[in-house]
């Protein structure tokens, strides 16, 4: 059962609400003798942290991670690694509005239907704040991958579409991703995005986006043919990120338009090296990695926390108009980039350990 | 761990290769006293069965399901339900080609990388034949849903896109779906699809497609906020179907283009009844069902089993050209329709039982 | 969730009732390229098979196992291994008595309380017949252990106590175990047991027993310190065998009587070899194997299927006296011996694969 | 996979070492709207806490539990409940001895074999300190049971044997259990135990014991017939407590001595009420609860932390004699009593939720 856990061999359990004393996670199944310290995790949290540009929520959190267990003298011990971040910016405010009204597009209504009780402060477990712990767990996963597979392992995420404005893949530059507030790999589109997002923010509106995540240096053989498929697990992991409404691998939905001969990836051998001539498959065939880069994309809806009024009901059933004030991201797709990277790292670490276990 | 199982409370484990004596599954966790007989399952298998039109593979299988356990005097007993289909059309043929060469776009290469051994006859576990057991399990899941939730439950799948030719949603007619060999809900596009697929078949080629699945009559409250999200589980279930490369819920990838106020689903109360004015969310908010229809779509790639030669390598590493003869579907998206329905039924049955268990 | 499965990496799911068409199991997670055929499994089933002496039930079953999937050209493929035994001796008889009355000491009453329906023919899932599939799965597990760990692996079970008559450990002889109908390792007690069991059988009564199972050749390091303890998993596996009421490891309950210095196992190094001078721990410390023989014992209650009348109630609540006629074992502990061996093999195979997966 | 978790619907994950900054656990799957505060948990921790009499270790820990998530306005929200206890008595000392030598009877040797690294300070994860979190989780489980089943639910543990000195069951008095430092239910044996344990402590030795745990007010129907057996899960839970070497249910090992007619529990109906006339079964038949009290016992070995020297080896392989100084319990069975109660509460809460989920 997995209400708040994911993974099997590399298993992550998260806990905490954005307005409680802390949030945290337990990483179970991490092999022993992986070098690990808080300094390995903090930079990833810093990338995800809000308040770094005017394009993300102004909520200020230091997001300082602490390792509470599972590490001894700089190395993992094989026992559970507990990570915790104390919540420091629990701004005291009046939640009367949110407590009494269901914000459209939010989980307020469904929480009440399911649990009959709701921690309305900041979205409870559905707060994007929970994703900080995924990023922390992803940093541990990346250390596992790098230690077991070597330095060729690299996971790269980027925002490839904001509203209708896509990047030009011909201009893709990994180095550019860190140069702008959007994790955008195409320098040519950055100023357009800046203007666009500024206008949306002023209008109190929001916009969706598409994120791409790529893993390099992953050996062939990870995954399984039927229900432990690597792509199925990636789909669950990425669809499970807040506000995600679609996931695709490799060619994805565009594969529906292709003929068999155009979608197949030819294989050649040269000097003993096996090489695929294209990567429509996104690095996965029959649920198992091919050794090519693993490529996934996911669509993030526009946040429903906007200043434009939307019809809704109160928790007592009255018709109301809801405006969601507060500190929000006009394009939540931006901050979903490091989260997507983290989820891919976790899924790959899990499958790597599973694969090792299955070997005769 | 789940190499060949899916679900938690309603748990399905499948086994069998297309060229062994039989395929089967075990459905564990089915509540007791659900009326069940082979006649409840067979019609679903008949819909998925190949060889019913010139647009699907000509492999002939009776696909006669047998219940081997878990049912007593016409009712489930709460113990595991074993289902089995004997393989009858194991046409004796020469597999020399497939045994020695990796078919591009197939799992041949990755199997050898993972397992070091490969049952090359008909694709082994990666054969679409395995999906017959998903359909059988889905039929049991549907009985569970109908028995526990009442007759309002209905799951409907359809092919909504073949290559570049989409259906017109304005002409959608559920009744039409059974009237054509494509599970197409739009009578206006059927003859176009017929011509198109006939020409592809003659060219020895294939094409991708998009399937939509809708569940009605599902109460609010199924799912969980973080890692037991209903949409994440649906994503895994649908991405796990052979040849699927993308999954979306509700507005899906199109949500990336929308502004917050356009993507939010307004809520109104009228006469004590809560009603959403739109369903961009696809019936799921924060991972939990809203009570609206649950809507998912998935993209199916064109089969790589085509008569057009594609460069590849032999299992000994030589460069070769591969043509895959045999009995194949020019658009595997067609037969994926009942499989998609079945997977949605299984996921919903699982979440319904989980939800009941979680209730105080 | 595990209603009918056990194990994680090496996962066994069983199905079937004693009076249905067949019983079976699916072994999932078995590594590829393990040599396996029906001839590897059948001898274990033959040992467990009833009707081999006058001291076990006279039910006659050929118990002929079939491998339905997961093996190709004599080797496992890494895909699920389905095993099936057809039920051949479903003697047609009148179950009126059992259908209407709760046999004391049986699960009749609890089944009705739980499920509201009960397959009363032969005990349904609680029939000892289900254990045939555990023995079959155990044979696969043993192949895994032998292939991965080498020929030093050996699992030996024996009946060490029948009623009040224990074996003399000083006379223990592994070879003797196959020489008598009791799996008794002490030739000196066999004739006493014969007389005793004959008199019990004539009286229509039954008696309990204690089984010991020992695994040799298991390396140190299997298990985990907290909830994946090797001894905890063994306890669950052995307590889960029909009629078992107690499990102990190494010194077991006798450890309660000992002082620390008498229970500790001294360690010595000699010529580079680490050696424990005793094995009170039963080969497990802190939930992890030490490399010494792993030793477990379990207590089997006397079967409640006896000719002596016992007060009970009918399913409609009337007070009745119940005599259970039919073909039963006066000491079910005897046939529990191969089942205990099988469960230990499954637990060890599971932990071996888990351990490999966890290694950095 | 479950290295550091147990349970399925009511799932507990613990983390932390005795010498790190804190220990904690995450309780996932707890139904919403269960009243819960730290005051519900603290009394159970206080019972388990060391240093309360001269018969337990003198380590002083406040063991003050904090609820970090999952509770809102005094009620559970259905989201994960994180509990934490900060370690306050991490006495700075020289661990040179323990770091370099394997204490016989401890997990030092097996840890090094498994992980190649070992947090030698206080036993790491194998420290009895970890059980504090089990007790905390058990307190939550008990609230779940009491809320869902009513006030008749009661779980009672007691030490029934210290070394060779058993309690007299005829003198059993639940109220007495809280009156002495041994959780002893028989006032008549307390002074004998006091003298005995005092002499052992003076000799620097230790002794084993047997604990009994009883659950009343549990309805029939919890459990499952094959691998989700209530007794099998109890066996795993109790065997998983530190130093436990044996577990039995109801009559337990004594059932091996009994004839069928003596072990069967007769059933009578009187005034519409079903009543068992005895409880050899310990409240479980065929893996499912009968509605009678559930009774389990477990054997705890004497701690190996003694002042009597025992031969062992250093981590570099040299032969040494080991004396384990420090603050230890001469009879760890005493403090295992509240841990046993907690584990039973957790298993029952898990099975209660599973049972509800399985119901049609």
State the greatest distance between any 2 C-alpha atoms of chain D, in Å, as a whole number. 72
What are the structure tokens assigned to C355, written together? 């351990």
Element housing B139 (H / E): helix B131-149
What are B302's strand-pairing partners? none
Interface test with D, best of C218, C260, C356 (most D CBs within 10 A): C260
Tell me which chain B residues have a C-beta less than 8 angstroms from the C-beta of C28. Answer: 1, 3-5, 13
Tell me the Cα Rg of chain C: 21
Residues C14-63: pLDDT tens digits? 999 988 999 999 999 999 999 999 999 999 999 887 667 777 665 666 78
Q: Which residues, at least 6 apart from D273, have a Cβ–Cβ distance to it below 8 Å?
A: none
Tell me which chain A residues have a C-beta less than 8 angstroms from the C-beta of B281. Answer: 105
Cβ within 8 Å of A, B 48-77: none
Pairing outcome for strands A11-15 and A5-6? antiparallel
Class of residue C168 by CB neighbours under 10 A (exposed 0-12, middle 13-18, buried 19+): exposed
- Per-residue model confidence (pLDDT) at position A129: 87
**C90: pLDDT confidence band, cut at 50, 70 and 90?**
low
Q: HSE-up of A197 (CA within 13 Å, CB side)?
A: 26
- Residues D133 and A26: their CA atoms lie apart, in Å, by 14
Across the interface, whether the CB atoms of B235 and A236 are under 8 A apart is answered yes
- Residues A143 and A30: their CA atoms lie apart, in Å, by 10
User: What 3-state class would DSSP assign to C235?
Assistant: helix
What are the structure tokens assigned to A150, written together? 């070597």
User: What 3-state class would DSSP assign to B338?
Assistant: helix
Determine the residue of chain D that is closest to A26 in CA distance. Answer: D15
Tell me which chain C residues have a C-beta less than 8 angstroms from the C-beta of A358. Answer: 9, 29, 31, 78, 353, 357
DSSP B70-95: SEETTEE-SS-EEEEEE---------
Q: Range with the lowest mean pLDDT among B96-100, B127-131, B230-234, C9-13?
A: B96-100
Tell me which chain C residues have a C-beta less than 8 angstroms from the C-beta of D238. Answer: 235
Q: Which of B235, B210, B231, B237 is nearest to B141 (CA)?
A: B237
User: What 3-state class would DSSP assign to C219?
Assistant: coil
Contact by Cβ (8 Å): C220, D110:
yes
- Per-residue model confidence (pLDDT) at position D173: 98
Q: HSE-up of B335 (CA within 13 Å, CB side)?
A: 30
Q: Which residues of C are annotated as a binding site for FMN?
A: 125-127, 242-243, 286, 301-305, 327
What are the structure tokens assigned to B208, written together? 């991708």
Cβ within 8 Å of D, A 233-252: none
Determine the residue of chain C that is closest to A360 in CA distance. Answer: C31
Percentage helix, strand, coil for chain D under 3-state DSSP, each rounded to 5: 35, 25, 40
DSSP D165-217: EE--GGG--GGGGGGSTT--S-HHHHHHHHHHHHHHHHTT--B-EEEEEEEES
Q: Which of D340, D312, D298 is nearest to D105 (CA)?
A: D312
Percentage helix, strand, coil for chain C under 3-state DSSP, each rounded to 5: 35, 25, 40
Q: Which of B147, B356, B360 sits opposite D357 (nearest CB)?
A: B356
- Per-residue model confidence (pLDDT) at position A88: 83
Residues C212-226: pLDDT tens digits? 999 999 999 999 988
Query: How far, in whole angstroms, is CA B212 from its chain's centroid?
Result: 10
Q: What are phi and psi of D229, to 5 degrees?
A: -60, 135
State the greatest distance between any 2 C-alpha atoms of chain C, in Å, as a whole number. 72
Between B69 and A90, where is the model more confident?
A: B69
Tell me which chain C residues have a C-beta less than 8 angstroms from the C-beta of D104. Answer: 264-267
Q: Which of B232, B258, B262 is nearest to A333 (CA)?
A: B258
Determine the residue of chain A that is closest to C226 in CA distance. Answer: A79
DSSP C238-259: HHTSTTEEEEEETTGGGGGG-B
- Per-residue model confidence (pLDDT) at position B47: 87
**B15: pLDDT confidence band, cut at 50, 70 and 90?**
very high
Q: Which residues of chain A have pLDDT under 70?
A: 1-2, 50-51, 56-61, 89-96, 326-327, 360
What are the structure tokens assigned to B256, written together? 């990336």
Across the interface, whether the CB atoms of C239 and D261 are under 8 A apart is answered no
Q: Which of A29, A356, A360 sits opposite C32 (nearest CB)?
A: A360
What are the structure tokens assigned to D91, written together? 């006495």
Any chains having at least 3 CB pairs less than 8 A from chain B are: A, C, D
- Residue listed under structure tokens 């549990």: D218
Cβ within 8 Å of C, A 208-227: 225-226
- Per-residue model confidence (pLDDT) at position C92: 54
Element housing D86 (H / E): strand D81-86
Q: Which residues of D are annotated as a binding site?
A: 48, 54, 125-127, 242-243, 286, 301-305, 327
User: What 3-state class would DSSP assign to D164?
Assistant: coil
Across the interface, whether the CB atoms of C224 and D3 are under 8 A apart is answered yes
- Per-residue model confidence (pLDDT) at position A256: 97
Between B145 and C103, where is the model more confident?
A: B145
Q: Which residues of chain D have pLDDT under 70?
A: 1-2, 50-51, 56-61, 89-96, 326-327, 360
User: What 3-state class would DSSP assign to C298?
Assistant: strand
State the greatest distance between any 2 C-alpha atoms of chain B, in Å, as a whole number. 72
Contact by Cβ (8 Å): C74, C23:
no
The chain-wide mean pLDDT, for chain B, equals 92
Interface test with C, best of D264, D315, D358 (most C CBs within 10 A): D264
Q: How many residues make up chain D in this entry?
A: 360
- Per-residue model confidence (pLDDT) at position B326: 67
Across the interface, whether the CB atoms of B24 and C70 are under 8 A apart is answered no
Q: Which of C206, C115, C130, C25 is nearest to D288 (CA)?
A: C115
Residues B303-358: pLDDT tens digits? 988 888 999 999 888 999 998 876 678 999 999 999 999 999 999 999 999 999 88
| Domains parsed from chain D with CATH numbers | 5-359 (3.60.150.10)
D33 touches chain B (CB under 8 A): yes
Across the interface, whether the CB atoms of D78 and B358 are under 8 A apart is answered yes
Query: What CA–CA distances, in Å, run from B211 to A228, A247, B156, C25?
Result: 22, 15, 11, 34
Contact by Cβ (8 Å): A132, A63:
yes
């Amino acid at each position: 059962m997995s209400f708040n856990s994911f993974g099997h061999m590399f298993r992550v359990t998260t806990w905490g609400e954005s307005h409680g004393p802390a949030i945290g996670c337990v990483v179970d199944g991490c092999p022993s003798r992986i070098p690990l310290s808080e300094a390995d995790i903090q930079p990833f949290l810093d990338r995800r942290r809000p308040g770094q540009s005017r394009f993300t929520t102004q909520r200020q959190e230091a997001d300082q991670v602490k390792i509470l267990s599972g590490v001894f003298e700089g190395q993992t011990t094989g026992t559970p690694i507990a990570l915790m971040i104390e919540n420091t910016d629990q701004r005291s405010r009046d939640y009367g509005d949110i407590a009494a009204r269901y914000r459209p597009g939010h989980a307020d209504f469904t929480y009440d239907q399911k649990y009959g009780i709701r921690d309305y402060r900041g979205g409870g477990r559905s707060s994007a704040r929970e994703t900080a712990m995924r990023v922390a767990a992803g940093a541990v996963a990346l250390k596992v991958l790098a230690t077991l597979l070597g330095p060729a392992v690299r996971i790269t995420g980027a925002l490839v579409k904001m509203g209708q404005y896509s990047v030009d893949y011909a201009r893709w530059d990994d180095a550019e991703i860190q140069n702008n507030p959007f994790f955008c790999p195409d320098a040519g589109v950055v100023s357009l995005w800046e203007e666009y997002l500024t206008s949306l923010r002023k209008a109190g509106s929001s916009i969706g986006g598409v994120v791409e995540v790529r893993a390099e240096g992953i050996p062939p053989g990870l995954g399984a043919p039927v229900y432990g498929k690597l792509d199925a697990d990636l789909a669950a992991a990425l669809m499970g990120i807040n506000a995600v409404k679609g996931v695709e691998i490799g060619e994805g939905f565009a594969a529906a338009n292709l003929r068999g001969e155009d979608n197949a990836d030819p294989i050649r051998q040269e000097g003993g090296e096996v090489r695929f001539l294209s990567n429509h498959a996104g690095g996965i065939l029959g649920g198992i990695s091919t050794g090519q880069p693993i490529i996934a994309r996911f669509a993030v809806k526009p946040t429903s926390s906007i200043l434009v009024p939307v019809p809704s009901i109160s928790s007592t059933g009255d018709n109301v108009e809801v405006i969601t004030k507060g500190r929000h991201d006009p394009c939540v797709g931006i901050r979903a980039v490091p989260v997507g990277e983290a989820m891919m790292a976790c899924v790959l670490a899990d499958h790597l350990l599973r694969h090792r276990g299955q070997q005769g």
